[in-house]
Amino acid sequence: MIKPLVAGNWKMHGNTATASNLAAQLAEQWGDNLAVEMVLFPPFVHLSAVKAAVANTVIAVGAQNISQHSSGAYTGEISGAMLVDQGCDFVLVGHSERRELFSESNQTVAEKFKAAQDVGLTPILCVGESLQQRQQEQTLDVVAAQIAAVIDCVGLNNVCRAVIAYEPVWAIGTGEVASPEQAQQVHSAIRAQLGEAGVETRLLYGGSVKASSAAELFTQQDINGGLVGGASLEAQEFLNIVKLAE
């Protein structure tokens, strides 16, 4: 039995007060619930406030990005050890906004994945195709190549002990959700790519998930939870999504 995981990616929103407040509301209502693992991804500068707000609860905290380097002259970057020091257990790698807007290649994503595991963080590897790639029927090839690049770097078993989030780029922040069948098709291809080693790997769906769409997505065989952007900024909506993963 795979324990579901629902993650909230707060992106570049809020301030210390709103971040603490949102985390405190979630802590109050989900702080001791072990049925679904909840992970919050605030901006770097709000990590310590969020960590304090969820102290003594089962809610975990993660960062939205990590440097592939362990330390040194990399102005503006944040290392894995620094994230651990802030109380992080998870980190997002390969989010499509990082791939597209900050030119992160499959190789860079693989190096970041490795940097995360080297310090004991669990990476959530984000993969997904653009609208054009879907229209050209390249979805499964694109996703397989994104995962293969990480397998080449760290090995299959290390990929399998992480979390993978399938996030079609055309569905992120657009209000357009993949149908449960579209999502399941990709999730089952990912499961097949991982083989025996990946039967327990958590595969999340992300892309405009709301409480109204989560139920059907979460009942698909190879969907083990969600990575939620916009809808994770509102406590009640996010909690409703988390409950649907139970």
Out of 37, 97, 129, 167, which one is annotated catalytic? 167
Supply the minimum distance, in Å, between the C-beta of residue 79 and ligand PEP: 23
Q: Which is nearer to ligand PEP, 85 or 176 (CB)?
A: 176
Closest to ligand PEP by CB, 85 vs 130, is 130
Query: 190, 141 in Cβ contact below 8 A?
Result: no
Q: Is 95 a catalytic residue?
A: yes
Residue nearest to ligand PEP (CB): 229
- CB of residue 4 vs ligand PEP: minimum separation in angstroms? 16
Q: Exactly one of 46, 95, 97, 237 is catalytic; which is it?
A: 95
Candidate list 22, 40, 150, 228; residue touching ligand PEP; CB under 6 A? 228
Q: Is 69 helix (H, G, I), strand (E, B) or coil?
A: coil
Candidates 50-58, 98-106, 117-125, 229-237: pick the segment binding ligand PEP (CB under 6 A): 229-237
Instruction: Please tell me whether residue 127 binds ligand PEP under the rule CB under 6 A.
Output: no
State the DSSP H helix or E strand holding residue 61, giving kind and residue range, or none if neither: strand 60-63
Query: What's the CA gap between 58 and 49, in Å, rounded?
Result: 16
Q: Catalytic residue at 104?
A: no
Q: CA 119 to CA 239: how far, in whole Å? A: 30
Closest CB to ligand PEP among 80 and 229? 229
Question: Are 26 and 235 spatial neighbours (Cβ–Cβ below 8 Å)?
Answer: yes
Total residues belonging to the chain = 246
Binding mask 195-224 for ligand PEP (x = CB under 6 A): -----------xxxx---------------
Residues 134-193 that bind ligand PEP (CB under 6 A): 167, 172-173
Give the whole-angstrom CA distance, residue 32 versus residue 184: 30
Q: Write the single-letter amino acid at 31.
A: G
Q: Which of 6, 9, 80, 116 binds ligand PEP (CB under 6 A)?
A: 9
Beta carbon of residue 229, minimum distance to ligand PEP (angstroms, whole number): 2
Return the number of the residue (163 or 227) whose C-beta is nearest ligand PEP: 227
The dihedral region occupied by 225, where left means phi > 0, alpha psi between -120 and 50, and beta the remainder, is: left
DSSP 184: H
Where do the H-state alpha helices sit in the chain? Answer: 16-30, 47-53, 80-85, 96-101, 106-118, 131-135, 139-154, 156-160, 180-194, 211-218, 235-244
Of 163, 227, 239, 245, the residue at the interface with ligand PEP (CB under 6 A) is 227
Q: Using an 8 Å Cβ cutoff, are 119 and 84 in contact? A: yes
Just list the catalytic residues. Answer: 95, 167
> Which residue ranges make up the site for ligand PEP (CB under 6 A)?
9, 167, 172-173, 206-209, 227-231
